[in-house]
Amino acid sequence: MAKAKYSIVIIDDDPLVNQTVAGVLSSIYEKVLQFTDCEKALDELDLIQPDLILLDVFLGDMNGLDVLEMLRERDVRIPIIMMTAFSDVKMAVRAVKLGAEDFIVKPLDLEQLEVSVERAIKNHELRRKVDVLTERLAKEEANEEIHGSSDKMKKVLQFADMVARGDDTTVLILGESGTGKELLARYLHRKSPRAAGPFISVNCGAIPRDLAENELFGYEKGAFTGATEKVKKGRFEMAHHGTILLDEVGELSPEMQVKLLRVLQEKTFYRLGGSKEVSADVRVIAATNRDLEKLIEEGSFREDLFYRLNVATLELPPLRQRPEDILDLATRFVHEFAQKFGKDITGFTPEAVDALQSYEWKGNVRELRNVIERVTLLETDAVITRESLKFLKTSAATPATQFQKRELLPGQHFLTVSRQGATLANVVRDLIVQTLHLTGGNQLKAAKVLDISRAKLRYRIEQLGININGKEIK
C-alpha cells in the first residue's frame, strides 16, 4: 500500500517518544521527521513545510503552549496536535483556544494517535479547499456586481439599498429579459441581514408543472413512485435563514400560486406526502418580465398573491433607456473575457463605441455580454474596431436612422417664436429637449439628428442645465 504523501514533524524532548511515534507514522506517511530540540525544529520549519506537527507541551526550558501561541501569531496554519503526560483540563482548553487541532495524553494510545493525525490532516485539507472555493466565489461575485452610472440605475440601487435592510420584506423585481433581475436579487441578498445565509434561485418557468411542488417544498418517502429518500428537502428548506428568488413567478400554475400564498402568509408548508408542517425562515424575492396586473385581468394570476409579492417593487430599466451605461458595461465585459481568454485587449475605437451605443440591445445586458464575449474571443488586435462589430445591424436597429433631415421650403419654419420674443438660450434649450425626447434620451442619436458632434451636444446640455432624459434640471 502506497504511503500518503504528507510530511509529519514530531517535536518531543524524549527520544523514546519520538522513535515510537515515528515508527507508527512512518508506515503510513511518506515523510516523518523527529526533533528533540524545539528551536532547531522551528528554524527548519519553513524549509520542511510540514502538513502536521506533533508538539509536546513540556520541552525542557520551553513550553509547547507558548510555541503554539507564537506559531499562530506568525499566522502558521499548519495543524498542530499537542501531547502531554498530564491530563489537565485547563491545559487542554487553553491549547484548543490557541488553535490546537487536538490534545492527546501520554502514554499514547497508538490507534488514537493514528486517528487523530488522519482527522487533523483531512480537516486541514478541507479548510484549504474552502479557502480556494471562497476566493473563487468572491471573483465570481465580483463579475456579478450590478454596474451603472446612469441616473436611472443609481435610483434603482439607492432604493434597493433601503429595501435590503428589511430582514424579511418581500420584493418584486420587474424588468425585461436580460436586464439583470437575478443580479439585483443577489445584490439585495448581499446587502441584507441574511447575507451569511444561502441564496437559492428557482426559475419557475423551467420547472414542469407536475414537479413544481417537489422542487419548491420537497417530499417524504412514499409520496409518489420513485420517492425512496426518507426526506428530500425542497428549495424553501434549502434557503432557510437566507433568501429565495422565484424568477419568472408569473409562470407558476394556479395550484402552486395558492401554496406560495400560504408560505408567504404562514411561513410554513407541507412536504409532498408529509403530515407535519415545516417552517421556512426565508426572504422571498420574486422576479418577472411579464405584466402581472394584466395576467390578473386575464385570470391567470391571483390578485391576493400579487399584493403579497408587491410589498416593495424594483423596476430595472432596459439598456436602451440608459445608453450612458453601455460603454462602462462593455469595458467591464472586455476585461473579464480578455482575462478568461488570455487576450491583451485594452478597449474600443471611437467608431466601435458609436456602433455599441447606436444598437438597440433588445436582449439588454445579457445580449451585450454575449456580444462582447464573442468579439473578445475572435479579436486579434489590441482594440476592438467597428469591423469587429459589423454583425450588429445598427442601421436597421437604431431609430436614429429613421430621422430624415430636410431643407426648409419657402415660408416654412422649424420653430415658432411668440410675439413676446424668446432668448437664444431658451430656443436652443427647447430644440435640444425636443430632440432628446425623440431619441429616448440617447445623446449620440440626438447629435446625429442635430448634425453636430456629440461633444458639442454634451457641452450645450451641461451649459443649459438639461439632463439626458430631455428634462430641465431643477
Which carries the bigger pLDDT value, residue 469 or residue 97? 97
Is a pLDDT exceeding 80 seen at residue 391?
Answer: yes
In sequence order, what E strands does 317-400 have?
A: 347-348, 383-384
Residue range 62-85: mean pLDDT, rounded: 91
Please state, in angstroms and rounded to a whole number, the distance separating the CA atoms of residues 444 and 330: 17
Whether 390 and 353 have beta carbons less than 8 Å apart is answered as no
> Model confidence at 385, in pLDDT bands (50, 70, 90)?
very high
**The one-letter amino acid at 212:** A
- The residues that bridge with 32 in the sheet, in sequence order, are 8
Taking the CA of residue 340 as centre, how many other CA atoms within 13 Å lie in the half-sphere pointing to its CB? 15
Please state, in angstroms and rounded to a whole number, the distance separating the CA atoms of residues 254 and 370: 35
pLDDT of residue 400: 42
Q: How many residues does the chain have?
A: 474
pLDDT of residue 275: 78
Query: For a pLDDT cut of 90, what percent of the chain falls above it?
Result: 55
Please state, in angstroms and rounded to a whole number, the distance separating the CA atoms of residues 464 and 451: 19
Is a pLDDT exceeding 80 seen at residue 392?
Answer: yes
The domains located in the chain, with CATH, are 4-131 (3.40.50.2300), 153-317 (3.40.50.300), 320-397 (1.10.8.60), 410-474 (1.10.10.60)
Is a pLDDT exceeding 90 seen at residue 451?
Answer: no
Rounded (10°) angle between helices 326-341 and 364-378: 40
Q: Which residues contact 240 (CB under 8 A, 6 or more apart)?
A: 197, 198, 280, 281, 282
Is a pLDDT exceeding 90 seen at residue 120?
Answer: yes
Residue range 30-50: mean pLDDT, rounded: 91
- The residues that bridge with 10 in the sheet, in sequence order, are 34, 54
In sequence order, what E strands does 226-363 have?
A: 231-232, 243-247, 268-270, 277-279, 283-288, 312-315, 347-348
- Which among 293, 209, 223, 298 has a CA at the least distance from the CA of 257? 209
Residue range 341-357: mean pLDDT, rounded: 91
Is a pLDDT exceeding 70 seen at residue 406?
Answer: no
Q: Which long-range contacts (CB under 8 A, 24 or more apart) does 378-382 make?
A: 379/343, 379/345, 381/345, 382/344, 382/345, 382/346
| Cell of residue 419, nine digits | 410675439
Whether 54 and 78 have beta carbons less than 8 Å apart is answered as no
